[in-house]
């Protein structure tokens, strides 16, 4: 059953002093419980699109509906409660002076009583496995830990949607994996809707749907398998090529006839070990 949570209708936006439109007549529907990955080159309008959803940027034309409600000046703060956002730079979104203060920041803004705040802060930190770091200062945390705290700050607010705006792009592979796993586990528990803007192939692979943006427009849309089968063209879309695709390309060069459709790591192994038999 389709259950549209976010609807964007014909959104256009142009930054002041820029020649091209950052968003050009974009329409998009995201359903409840869906994981959508937005990919595309720098400057393709991904972040701008994400920021329109919770009203950080108001589009020049078009309308935005979150949970059936039209985004307006009056309900912007209610909609921000529904849409949590994690940004790219782990340092620049850490408002609190310690981990627990940072997680509590959003709750303080909503005027939630202190007793309930303590419970929610503890739960959120538990979820992202950062309870031991409660009274630590940001200067003593790694990038991945800071990003997990940022996620805790968002989930303490219990939003319906989490937008990850390149939230893993400044992390090392381990930190990246940790953050993605945290989000994945959270999504399974709470039927969260996730919109992730990313250049990371593994992160895109978790999505139910991948949208490719170019110059403010959505140019491709499909499951990760469909998108990944573009092979070399993926680099042009701002994504890395998945390892099985790289392997296929090398094998093709050696004159080996590989299947055209996308194969996961396991699929590739499967295909490889049966390759000899098929001949």
Partner 1 sequence: MMNKLILGRYIPGDSLVHRMDPRAKLLASFYFIGIIFICNNFLSFGVMFAFTLFCIWLSQIKLSFFLKGVKPLLWLILFTVGLQILFTRGGHVYFEWGWISISQFGLVNGFFIFTRFVLIIFMSTLLTLTTPPLSLSDAIEYLLRPLEKVKFPAHEISLMLSIALRFVPTLMDETEKIMNAQRARGVDFGEGNLMDKMKAIVPLLIPLFVSSFNRAEELAIAMEARGYRGGEGRTKYRVLNWDKTDTLAMLSFVILTIVLVLVRN
Smallest gap, in angstroms, from Cβ of residue 109 to partner 1? Answer: 4
Nearest CB to partner 1, comparing residues 157 and 241:
157
Nearest CB to partner 1, comparing residues 137 and 202:
137
Between CA 14 and CA 48 the distance in angstroms is 10
Site pattern 142..171 for partner 1 (x: CB under 8 A): -----------xx--x--------------
Q: Which of 62, 224, 203, 202 is nearest to 212 (CA)?
A: 224
Q: What is the DSSP string of 43-99?
A: TSSHHHHHHHHTTSS--SEEEEEETTEEP-TTTHHHHHHHEEEE-S-TTTT--SSSH
Between CA 163 and CA 183 the distance in angstroms is 11
Nearest CB to partner 1, comparing residues 89 and 123:
89
DSSP state of 253: H
Which of the stretches 79-87, 125-133, 176-184, 218-226 binds partner 1 when contact is defined by CB under 8 A?
A: 79-87
Question: What is the Cα Rg of the chain in Å?
Answer: 20
**Of the candidates 36, 99, 121, 130, which one interacts with partner 1 according to CB under 8 A?**
121
Using CB under 8 A, count the residues that bind partner 1.
40
Q: Which of 19, 5, 17, 23 is nearest to 82 (CA)?
A: 5
98 interacts with partner 1 by CB under 8 A: yes
Nearest CB to partner 1, comparing residues 54 and 198:
54
**Of the candidates 87, 129, 220, 264, which one interacts with partner 1 according to CB under 8 A?**
87
139 interacts with partner 1 by CB under 8 A: yes
Nearest CB to partner 1, comparing residues 48 and 229:
48
Between CA 149 and CA 141 the distance in angstroms is 10
Nearest CB to partner 1, comparing residues 4 and 96:
96
Nearest CB to partner 1, comparing residues 107 and 210:
107
192 interacts with partner 1 by CB under 8 A: no
- Of 228-257, binders to partner 1 (CB under 8 A) are none
Which two three-digit tokens encode residue 158?
Answer: 């219990």
Residue 35, SS3 per DSSP: strand
Nearest CB to partner 1, comparing residues 92 and 274:
92
Q: Which of 176, 257, 261 is nearest to 272 (CA)?
A: 257
Work out whether strand 61-66 and strand 161-165 pair parallel, antiparallel, or are unpaired.
unpaired
**Of the candidates 26, 30, 36, 107, which one interacts with partner 1 according to CB under 8 A?**
107
**Of the candidates 114, 253, 254, 278, which one interacts with partner 1 according to CB under 8 A?**
114
As separate numbers, helices (DSSP H) first and strands (DSSP E) second, the chain gives 11, 10
Between CA 112 and CA 108 the distance in angstroms is 6
54 interacts with partner 1 by CB under 8 A: yes
Give the residues lining the site for partner 1 (CB under 8 A). 51, 54, 56, 77, 80-81, 84-85, 87, 89, 91-98, 100-101, 104-114, 117-118, 121, 137-139, 153-154, 157
């Amino acid at each position: 059953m389709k259950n549209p949570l976010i609807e964007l209708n014909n959104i256009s936006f142009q930054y002041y002093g820029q020649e091209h439109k950052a968003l050009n007549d974009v329409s998009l529907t995201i359903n409840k419980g869906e994981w959508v990955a937005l990919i595309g080159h720098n400057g393709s309008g991904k972040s701008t699109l994400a920021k329109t959803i919770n009203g950080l940027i108001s589009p020049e034309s078009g309308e935005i509906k979150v949970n059936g409600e039209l985004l307006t000046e009056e309900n912007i703060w209610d909609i921000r409660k529904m849409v949590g956002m994690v940004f790219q730079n782990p340092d620049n979104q850490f408002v609190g002076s310690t981990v627990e203060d940072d997680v509590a920041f959003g709750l303080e803004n909503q005027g939630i009583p202190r007793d309930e705040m303590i419970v929610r802060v503890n739960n959120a930190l538990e979820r992202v496995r950062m309870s031991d770091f409660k009274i630590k200062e940001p200067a003593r945390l790694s990038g991945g830990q800071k990003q997990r705290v940022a996620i805790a700050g968002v989930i303490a607010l219990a939003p319906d949607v989490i937008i990850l705006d390149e939230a893993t792009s400044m992390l090392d592979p381990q930190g990246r994996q940790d953050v993605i796993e945290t989000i994945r586990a959270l999504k399974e528990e709470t039927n969260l809707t996730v919109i992730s803007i990313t250049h990371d192939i593994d992160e895109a692979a978790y999505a139910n749907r991948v949208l490719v943006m170019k110059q403010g427009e959505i140019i491709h849309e499909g499951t990760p398998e469909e998108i990944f089968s573009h092979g070399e063209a993926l680099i042009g879309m701002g994504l890395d090529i998945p390892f099985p695709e790289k392997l296929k390309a090398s094998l093709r060069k050696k004159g080996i006839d590989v299947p055209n459709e996308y194969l996961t790591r396991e699929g590739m192994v499967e295909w490889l070990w049966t390759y000899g038999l098929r001949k």
